[in-house]
Amino acid sequence: MSNGKWVLVCNINPGGPFGGSATQYFVGNFDGHKFTCESKPDVTKWMDYGKDHYATVTFDNAPDGRHVAIAWMSNWQYATQVPTQQYRSANSIPRDLGIFTDGGEDYVSVVPSPEMTAARGRRLASPSTKCEIVVSKLRDGATIALSNGKGEKVTMTYKAKNKTFAMDRRTSGKVDFSDAFPCVTTAPTHGRINTLRIFVDASSIEAFDADGKMAMTNLVFPTEPYNKLTVKGGKAVIYEIK
């Protein structure tokens, strides 16, 4: 791993930060036989703070020495109950991993792989079921809401003073198939977020701090696509994904 660090990835279920499945990791050293974690036992680190980031697999020896990860977007609390046909959730977009330090602790940074930037198409006036939303110049208390004509909505909130980012999917569409599905997920930001990158697909939202210090992946099941974007406290640009 970069900076001479090793990362031990553990996909766990149950025990995630918001219940059910999640990807936990440990940063340390590996001598070929024994992994030694550098953190104290009471320090817990999550690769993603959404409800739907599990079964993460990593790929080494990628071009340019990159470390790439892909997760399964679901949670065993409701994976067999989601309102889909013929499949049980998709994989996440690929993410490049690195290391950053905050408060004396080393953490894994997570950014969308550069192939996702290369996949950008034309700029859009409104969201679609396959798009990337880039929100820059974020201010404390900024909100980003995706909604449709049926009143279904996902709201994301950034609180710089609290160093948190949250996503509320309680009114996102179909949520009544499991008591564990409607929720608000909250992540530490490890400092200020200047730019967010949000990837929207037919039934998922993946949000990233552009600098890699926060990632959040959540499923959503709107009964019709989100076609309205409302941003307060930031400037947004929408790109189609080719």
Query: What are residue 117's phi and psi, to 5 degrees?
Result: -70, -40
Confidence of residue 3 (pLDDT cuts 50, 70, 90): low
Token pair, residue 171, equals 């009114």
Closest of 175, 185, 145, 211 to residue 48, by C-alpha: 185
Average pLDDT over residues 105-118: 97
Helix (H, G, I), strand (E, B) or coil at 165: strand
* 187-197 pLDDT per residue, tens: 999 999 999 99
Q: Determine the pLDDT at residue 159.
A: 98
Summarize pLDDT for 33-58 with one digit per residue, the tens. Answer: 999 999 999 999 999 999 999 999 99
- Residue carrying the six token digits 């977009």: 93
Q: What is the DSSP letter of 114?
A: H
d(C-alpha 44, C-alpha 173), whole Å: 32
Q: Does the structure show a pLDDT above 60 at 167?
A: yes
The helices-and-strands tally (H runs, E runs) of the chain is 1, 18
Tell me the per-residue pLDDT of 141-166, one tens digit each, with 9 for 90 and over: 999 999 999 999 999 999 999 999 99
